[in-house]
Amino acid sequence: MAVAPESIDAPYQIICEGRDDVEFFLRLLRDRNIAGYNVGFPKGADGRPLGKDRFDERIDQILAFATVPIRGIIVVADSDDDPAGRFADACEHFRGKVLPIPKAAMQERKSGTSGTPKTAVIMIPAHGVEGGLETLVLSCCAEVEEFRECINSFCLCVDTPRSILERDKLRLRALIAALNPKDPSASISNLLSTARRPFPMTHTALDGIAQFLIHFAAP
């Protein structure tokens, strides 16, 4: 049975895998002045993120406890090392809920039935591209030159066979440690929520996602 989450009081809903993704989208929506969205993730009774395998539970919560008519639901998933597979997995969470199932990433799907929310899937870092949130964040950090040589040297020193996402997790972790000498273990969500963010949320690498969110919430 769906457990009542935090207030669901916006017509458009973004479902993420965890806290870092939520912080990323909250900042993106705020800094781009995009209105009409709640952002959340599947969580247990203790508030612990339940991850990508429980997107369907978050959808159930939204449909059961929304205080306004829901017009659209977006699932956000990491591509990892299998973009097509992760997209198919994300779409499965819409099945059996009288909701339309997206046919392609970054494309809204309408049911044709009045009152039924439209749906979409956003793949991170992009449709058909391996990686995850770390990959997307790093694509915005090219201007951070002061630590580039050090990070490259560190990653070369500890080099082992890694997937693209594992490589990008390592590089971003090194960058976070460099940017936060007093708290080198800070999370991505902390990095994105502080004044020392290494890039603006208006970075051009984020334009595609921002424009899709604007289009999705358009009347």
What is the separation, in whole angstroms, between the first and last Cα of the chain? 32
pLDDT score at 110: 93
Determine the Cα–Cα distance for residues 124 and 106; give it in Å rounded to an integer: 10
The per-residue pLDDT of the chain, averaged, comes to 87
pLDDT score at 212: 97
- φ, ψ (nearest 5 deg) of residue 73: -130, 130
Instruction: Kindly indicate the confidence band of residue 196, based on its pLDDT and cuts at 50, 70 and 90.
Output: low
Give the domain 12-130+200-216 fold: Rossmann fold (3.40.50)
Answer yes or no: are the C-beta atoms of 123 and 79 closer than 8 Å.
yes
Indicate whether 11 pLDDT > 90: yes
Answer yes or no: are the C-beta atoms of 87 and 121 closer than 8 Å.
yes
Give the pTM: 0.89
Determine the Cα–Cα distance for residues 76 and 70; give it in Å rounded to an integer: 17
3-state per-residue secondary structure call for 187-202: CHHHHHHCCCCCCCCC
* Percent of the chain clearing pLDDT 90 (strictly above): 51
Domain ranges of the chain: 12-130+200-216, 133-193
pLDDT tens digits, 110-159: 987 888 999 999 999 999 999 999 999 988 887 666 777 787 788 778 77
Indicate whether 106 pLDDT > 90: yes
Sole residue written with tokens 């247990």: 44
Answer yes or no: are the C-beta atoms of 143 and 112 closer than 8 Å.
no
